[in-house]
Structure 1
Amino acid sequence: MSTNQSEQAVAEKPSKKAKQPDKKSVQKKETSTRKQQKQQQKKEKGQNKKPRRRIFPIWLRIVVVVILSAAALASGLMIGYGVIGDGVPTDALKVETWQHLIDIVTKVE
Structure 2
Amino acid sequence: MKDNTTQRRTSKPRTRKEAKIEREVREEVSMRWWSKLRLFPMGIRILVVLILIVIAAVSGAMIGYSVMGEGDAIDVLKISTWRHIFDIMNGVVDK
What is the alpha-carbon distance in structure 1 between the residues aligned to residue 28 and residue 55 of structure 2? 43
TM-score after normalising by structure 1: 0.54
- Structure 1 counterpart of 2:57: 73
Change (3 A) 1:46 1:77: closer
TM-score after normalising by structure 2: 0.60
User: Which stretches in structure 1 are left out of the alignment for 5+ residues?
Assistant: 1-29
Q: Specify the SS of the correspondent of 2:36.
A: coil
1:88 equivalenced with 2:87 (yes/no): no
1:98 equivalenced with 2:79 (yes/no): no
The CA deviation at 1:46 is: 4.9
- Structure 2 counterpart of 1:57: 41
Runs of 4+ with deviation above 4 angstroms? 44-49
Q: How many residues align?
A: 77
CA offset digits 1:33-71 (Å, max 9, x no partner): 52x222233344456663631113332222111111111
Identity of aligned residues (%): 38
Tell me the C-alpha RMSD between the 2 structures. 2.5
The CA deviation at 1:92 is: 0.9
